[in-house]
Amino acid sequence: MSDVADWWRTEIIDMEPGRIHLRGIPIQELIGQVGFAEMIWLMVRGDRPDPAQARLFEAALVSAVDHGPQAPSIAAARMAVTCGLPLNNAMATAVNMLGDVHGGAGEQAVEMFHALRRAESVAAGLDGWIAARGKIIPGYGHRFHTPVDPRAPRLMALTREAVAAGACSGAFMALGEAVEAELAARKGRPIPMNIDGATAVIYAELGFAPPLARGLFCLSRSVGILAHAWEQQQQRGRNKGPTPPQYRWTYDGP
C-alpha cells in the first residue's frame, strides 16, 4: 500500500481515527490556545510566531477585510446572492475575482521589494521593474483614497513597533519608504504607500513568499465577502446587476 499512501505527501496533517495532529501538534492542544491568525501562520509556515510577530501578522490580516461594494469581488458576492446562490458559492465567486488587477498588487509589491533589494539602488531597481512590468508601481497611490490611504500609516507604525520589539529587521520597511520617496521625487508630488504596499512590507518582513501575499489577502477579504453576502441575503433582492435597471450600458455596435 505504500504506493497509495505516498500518492499524497504532506507535513501538514497526520490523522487517523481518534487522532488529529496539525504540524505535529494534537488539535486539542491548539483549540482554545491559539488565535486564528496564529493558526494560519502555523498551517502555512509550520512554526509558531512569537507574540510580536503574531500581532503584526494579525494587523495585516485585519486591515484588508473589506473595501465596500464598489470593489469587484464584494459586488460579485452580493450579485451572486441575488441570483440565488448560497453563501459558499457567493464567496467562491468573489474570491475567484481576486486576480492580477484586483487582488494581486500585494503579491506584486513583495516581488518588487525583493527585486529592489538585488538592484544597485532603488532608482535603478524601479527602472528595471518598469521596463519589465510596466509603469504601474504596485502598492503606491490609490484611485479612491487621496491623498493618503488611512490603513497604510497605521500599518507602518505597527511595523516600526514590531522592529523595535525584535519581531523583524525593518529592511523591507525602509525599502518601502525609500520607494515612496523616490516616486515623490520623480512625480513632483507625493505618491503614498497604499494598503497593498503596507501589507507587502509586513509580509516580506515576516518572511512570507510573494505568492502567499495574495493567498493571505484572499483570506482577509473573505471576511468582508462573507459579511456582504450575508447582509445581501438578509436584504433579499432578486437578480440585481451592477447598476439599477433604469440605467443602460453604452451601445457601440451597428
Residue 169: band (very low, low, confident or very high) from pLDDT cuts 50, 70, 90: very high
| pLDDT for the residue 101 | 92
| pLDDT for the residue 2 | 78
| pLDDT for the residue 252 | 97
| pLDDT for the residue 178 | 97
pLDDT tens-digit series, residues 55-93: 999 999 999 999 999 999 999 999 999 999 999 999 999
pLDDT tens-digit series, residues 108-156: 999 999 999 999 999 999 999 999 999 999 999 887 888 889 999 999 9
Q: Which domains does the chain have, with CATH numbers?
A: 15-48 (no CATH), 105-212 (1.10.230.10)
| pLDDT for the residue 29 | 98
Cell of 33: 490556545
Would you state the torsion angle of the CA atoms of residues 135, 141, 145, 149, taken in this order, to the nearest 10 degrees? Answer: 150
* Pair 55, 155: CB distance under 8 Å: no
| pLDDT for the residue 36 | 97
Taking the alpha carbons at both ends of the chain, their separation in whole angstroms is: 65
- Asked whether residue 40 carries a pLDDT value surpassing 80, the answer given is yes
Cα–Cα distances (Å) from 74 to 86, 105, 113, 212, 232, in that order, read: 15, 17, 28, 21, 11
| pLDDT for the residue 194 | 96
Residue 99 — φ and ψ, nearest 5°?
-110, -155
- Asked whether residue 18 carries a pLDDT value surpassing 90, the answer given is yes
**CA–CA distance, 26 with 254 (Å, rounded to integer):** 66
**CA–CA distance, 110 with 30 (Å, rounded to integer):** 30
| pLDDT for the residue 145 | 81
Angle between helices 210-235 and 87-95 (to 10 degrees): 140
| pLDDT for the residue 5 | 84
pLDDT tens-digit series, residues 98-120: 999 999 999 999 999 999 999 99
User: Sign of the C-alpha dihedral, residues 38, 169, 210, 200?
Assistant: positive
* Pair 194, 152: CB distance under 8 Å: yes
Cα–Cα distances (Å) from 84 to 9, 98, 103, 240, in that order, read: 38, 22, 25, 11
- Asked whether residue 1 carries a pLDDT value surpassing 70, the answer given is no
Query: Closest Cα partner for 144 from 79, 71, 251?
Result: 71
Burial annotation 138-153 (CB, 10 A radius, 16+ → b, else e): bbbbbeeeeeebebbe
Residue 236: band (very low, low, confident or very high) from pLDDT cuts 50, 70, 90: very high
Cell of 74: 464584494
- Asked whether residue 171 carries a pLDDT value surpassing 70, the answer given is yes
How confident is the prediction for the chain on average, in pLDDT? Answer: 96
Cell of 11: 507535513
Residue 4: band (very low, low, confident or very high) from pLDDT cuts 50, 70, 90: confident
